[in-house]
Amino acid sequence: MLRPTLKELLTGLQGTVLQTLIPELTSPFAQGQAMALIGMLLHGADSIERERHYDEGEVRDLRLTIRALKRLEKSHLRRGSGDLKKILLRGVKASAALERREMEATLSAFVTALALDKLDDALGKVVRGWLRRHLARQSEFLGYHVPS
């Protein structure tokens, strides 16, 4: 591992702002801005630790969901769903290559099809399950808030 780590750099910046900059600032506004910066650095340092686990869970779930959709494709994808079949094929290829953006695009297309009532119950159940898990992971990762 390279030293210092990104987390160590962010933590060091926090200390610099707190110990060096804030005592030199005379304006309450500037001091407040420095404290806000410390909060953002703290959030960033904490997020780095959790981001890898979030990403791994996201990719694993995308792959499993695309596989589940592929297993159901022949018996459950409605006629006239040629576009979804092509999208699913791209998603399967992306899954094998671990191309996250294309896997996300595949699931986005299926979420749209679900919203437009173009999926049967079996496919809809798979897509709703992924969406529930995806939103739960995002909420957990963000801590139910978005830093500003």
Say what the pTM is.
Answer: 0.69
Q: What is the pLDDT along the chain (148 residues), one digit of tens a residue?
A: 567 878 888 889 999 999 999 999 999 999 999 999 999 998 888 878 788 888 999 999 999 999 999 999 988 887 667 899 999 999 999 999 999 999 999 999 999 999 999 999 999 999 999 999 999 998 888 776 555 5
pLDDT in the model for residue 146: 52
- Does the residue 112 lie in any domain? yes
- Does the residue 76 lie in any domain? yes
Surface-to-core class of residue 42, CB atoms within 10 Å of its CB (0-12 exposed, 13-18 middle, 19+ buried): middle
- Does the residue 55 lie in any domain? yes
pLDDT in the model for residue 144: 61
- Does the residue 13 lie in any domain? yes
pLDDT in the model for residue 140: 85
Q: What residue numbers bound the domain in which 123 lies?
A: 6-142
- Return the DSSP state at 119: S
- Does the residue 96 lie in any domain? yes
pLDDT in the model for residue 147: 52
* Number of domains within the chain: 1
Q: What is the rounded CA–CA span in Å between residue 94 and residue 63? A: 9
- Does the residue 148 lie in any domain? no
